[in-house]
Amino acid sequence: MNYEVNRGIVESDAGIPETPRWFSDGRLSFQYDGNSVTQVDYRSKYQTRGSHTIFLQRLWDGFRYYLEHDGITLKPKYGKTTVWPCGVESEWKLDGHAAVSHRVFAAGEAIVFQVTTGAELPEGYKFKLEFYKDFGLITDDLQDLRYGDRGSKRHWRDFEFHADSNVLLGSMMDVPREQPVKGSEVNLNNMDIEREEDSTPNELFVAVGADFQLQFQERSIHTKYILTSQIALVPNRSYSFVIGFAHTEKLVIETVGRLSADVGKVLEGQLRRYEQVRHTSPVLISPYKKLNDFISLAPMYHESCKVLETPGAIKAKNTNYWVWGWDGMTSNLASLYWGDQLFIRDMLRFYEETADAEHGIGHSFRHDMSLASVSALPAQSMYITLLHQYYTITGDVGELRSRFPFAKSVYERILKMEVQGLGLSKGASLFPDFPMYMQETGEDISSLNNTIFYCASRSMEMIAELLGEQETRELADKVNRNIEKHYLPLFFDAQRGFVVSSVDTVTLERRSSYNSNAVKWENFFCGELMMGVNEQALRFFEQHIVCKAGLREIPVWSDAFDRDANQLHCWWPVTGEYYMQLINGQSKRELIDQWVGWVSYWTNKLTCPEGISCYLDTDEPEVDRWNTTKGTWHAYSIRGWYQAAMHGVVGVGMEAGGLTFYPYDGEEMRLEGLHYRGWRFNVEMRGSGRYVEAIEVDGKRVCGTNKLPEDVYGAGADEVDVDVNVVVHRTVERVYSVSVKHGYGISMTGYSCEQGEIRAELQGAGLCRLVLEADHMPMVYLNDTAAKVAYDKAAGVATVELRMNAVERGRLVVNAAANWNLS
């Protein structure tokens, strides 16, 4: 079926693309196949055990709506159709010239079926909704984890019509039962939170109401419930069925009654919320049509994962999963890029407010937002990285200061796990779920964990410097230097050309186990930890990880491959940023195009998987029944792909020092509306090649740098919500004898590059590395004092270590010539 994506909504001339598909908003998700709602999931905050799947279509139909005319039942038709993350709306042509519009939406934690009649509606039409009694799920399938009892026995009470309330009312009760923990269910890397479990049965009431008077019928034998409008529909009016949920009979009747009375406002408010996301999110204009689509769809489906009643909480996925810890925190530069700064502020507050007083940030949450388990300590360090990124993009120093004490407590907790004074922390790998198959024993130094922690520790040093917390800054600096000293010597296997997954805490011996997720890129500082081995690492990926379907987590020759018949043969998009950094940094156009093809394949199916099977040798992976069901979007995969596309395909990133561009031999393209400190950046990449000839900012031309000087676009001015137009001119050949490649954490002003000499004022916080592209060893001075320069002749790259002060600016002078005048 043909369709177009228009700024995050899907438009079709006839029909719903890619069905059956899921729709979601808040605590409610449902699957719809164009005929019937086939599954309903609702996560009641009062449910302590039991399945969140309430209804499941098997032999008999789920919720179906129709028009009825002269006793004849008419199935909905789909003409011009619009698909939102939370529902679908379409034209339905009747006989002659008459038509109605119809909607199926998740809104207000309810399912809404609505028809709106036109002026030419003939007489005699009625609106009706039907479903079978057996649509209600009895959770007794022990072989399918989707529909098992999850610790409760479920009982249904038959639906009954309450004429006085104009609702059909039913309920289900989940009765908890004893559930011994099996050995395979014991967490190795996340601590369960013990609490007095409530053994009281959980009851959920379901009510079907309408904003018009209902007539009720019940069929016997194969019990079916039928609700029909008592009188015929009239022209130019909307009619809505509303299906709501609550933990008491009184509340569900009140809820459905209120929603039925205000259904127009509820739907209008819902669409207004998504429209705001549509029109504030960036737009990519490139030759990669499906990547353009993904960039506009991603923020919309991410929005559908939010738990609206709890600011800052987000479901890991719009179906199947609830709120988790590191799943919510990781890869959130994406959210900041598309303008969701307030949500990230709320997220930082949420994880602090819900944290366990002794053990820290939650790993998994119950439906009432209490903790079910606590995150492994290295995963908690993502909070520090996220706090720093929030400050970077917003400049909100007040929030930075408010959250610092909690971030510091997380940091200090992790430091207590340090192994043998190495700066590296102990703990089984955060991922995969079965680290024992990766030869881990509980006495582990995990590469995945410690690359995450290194990124956070670099952020902690900068945060502490910004806030004048010198004791913490000095501590973080010591930890960072220690990690840099020991990480590669301990983990890097020169024979394989990649890091091992873990090292033994006692013997410090490498385990012969390799995992493409072993380097988890959380911020740009990760690249500084991996300096010197990137070429070998990319060869390892090309030879052992890259396959037709994506990036294998485990090489096929490893004993761990497919050991769990699930995770260990998959690609996890959230972990792929390091690979994108490698292929962009080494200008591997064919590999970037291949990556775009992987994302395009799933975008074409209008889904974004958590994991992609690489078990079969195919570039058309199969749609499964969990990760890749149509309409499901996994939040951290959305963000992982989004920021990888920004950094590696478009070639733009934002970090503590502002904007940096990453040129490669790529297609020309334009990105409109990237958010940074109140500005909207429209970035055009012209030409092709791995060097920058010049950057134009609103007509002003800057040469000799990939890093954008902040004063060029008025940083620090009072103006906000202003467009800044940037054109990056890429070229194949190096133009300048010395130029700025990047400098993470460094902001530049007063920049000039003339006759092989660079001058600028720099500001930063803590340890910063200025990386220069140079024909030979340059001379570098900061505040008239010679700086130490490490020069890689083969790469033509010079690295300058700078100790930056958050208050004072430093005067930089760089010269490629042997004889020059400093003054």
Residue for token pair 């719009």: 318
Kindly report the number of other CB atoms within 10 A of residue 95's CB atom. Answer: 8
Which two tokens mark 552? 């294998």
Q: Would the CA dihedral through 68, 72, 73, 79 be positive or negative?
A: negative
Residues 6+ apart with CB under 8 A from 567: 432, 433, 434, 553, 611
Task: Report the interhelical angle of 397-415 vs 470-491 (nearest 10°).
Answer: 50
CA neighbours within 13 Å on the CB side: how many for 480?
21
Tell me if residue 269 falls in helix, strand or coil.
helix
d(CA 352, CA 335): 19
Phi and psi at residue 57, to the nearest 5°? -80, 125
Task: Look at residue 194 in the predicted model and tell me its pLDDT.
Answer: 61
Are the beta carbons of 541 and 551 closer than 8 angstroms? Answer: yes
What's at 300, amino acid-wise?
M
Measured distance CA(687)–CA(765) in Å, rounded:
34
pLDDT at 184: 44
Out of 3.40.50.720, 1.50.10.10, 3.40.50.1820, 1.20.1740.10, select the CATH number for domain 281-650: 1.50.10.10
Q: Which residues of the chain have pLDDT under 70?
A: 179-190, 194-198, 715-720, 817-823
Q: What is the C-alpha separation between 600 and 292, in angstroms, rounded?
A: 9
- Global pTM reads 0.96
Tokens of 823: 């003054």
**Cα dihedral 342/344/350/351 (nearest 10):** -160
CB of 245 closer than 8 Å to CB of 171: no
Rounded alpha-carbon distances, angstroms, from residue 368 to 45, 49, 145, 313, 375: 4, 11, 22, 12, 18
The listed CATH number (2.60.420.10, 1.20.1250.20, 3.40.190.10, 1.10.1740.10) that belongs to domain 655-815: 2.60.420.10
Whose CA is closest to 675, among 333, 253, 222?
333
The token pair at 260 is 């039925």
CA dist., res. 528 & res. 455, Å (int) = 10
* CA 665, 666, 669, 671 torsion-angle sign: negative
pLDDT at 715: 61
- The full length of the chain comes to 823
3-class SS at 88?
strand
Name the H helices within 620-684: 635-644
- The CB-based long-range contact list for 552-561 (8 Å cut-off, 24+ gap) reads 552/516, 552/614, 553/432, 553/515, 553/516, 553/517, 553/614, 554/514, 554/515, 554/516, 555/514, 558/513, 558/514, 559/437, 559/513, 560/437, 560/438, 560/439, 560/513, 560/515
Strands (E), 444-596: 444-446, 492-493, 498-499, 502-504, 570-571
Prior bond of 432 cis (ω within 30°): yes
Alpha carbon distance 599, 621 (integer Å): 12
Q: Residue with structure tokens 């309409």?
A: 631
CA 798 to chain centre: 35
Q: Residue 87 belongs to what H/E stretch?
A: strand 87-93
Rg, the chain, Cα only: 28
Give the per-residue pLDDT at 669: 99
How far, in Å, CA of 312 to CA of 350, rounded? Answer: 6
For residue 427, the 8-state DSSP code is B
Predicted local distance difference test score (pLDDT) of residue 183:
44
Given a contact cutoff of 8 angstroms between Cβ atoms, the answer to whether 267 and 259 are in contact is no
Distance CA 427, CA 517 (A): 16
d(CA 583, CA 382): 24
Question: Tens digits of per-residue pLDDT, 477-517?
Answer: 999 999 999 999 999 999 999 999 999 999 999 999 999 99
CA of 573: how far to CAs of 245, 298, 323, 637, 812, in Å?
A: 34, 14, 19, 5, 40
Q: Which two tokens stand for residue 6?
A: 């228009």
Distance CA 54, CA 544 (A): 43
Nearest to 379 by CA among 574, 580, 627: 574
| Domain range list for the chain | 4-140+210-242+262-276, 281-650, 655-815
Residue 118: CA count within 13 A, CB half-sphere: 15
> How much is the pLDDT for 141?
73
Residue from 337, 256, 281, 346 nearest 309 by CA: 346
Rounded CA-CA distance 652/674 in Å is: 10
4-140+210-242+262-276 is a CATH 3.40.1350 domain = no
DSSP states of 16-59: -SSSSEEEEETTEEEEE-SS-EEEEEE--TT--SS-SEEEE-SS
pLDDT of residue 50: 87
The Cα 714–Cα 272 span in angstroms is 32
Asked whether 517 and 537 are in contact (CB, 8 A), the reply is: no
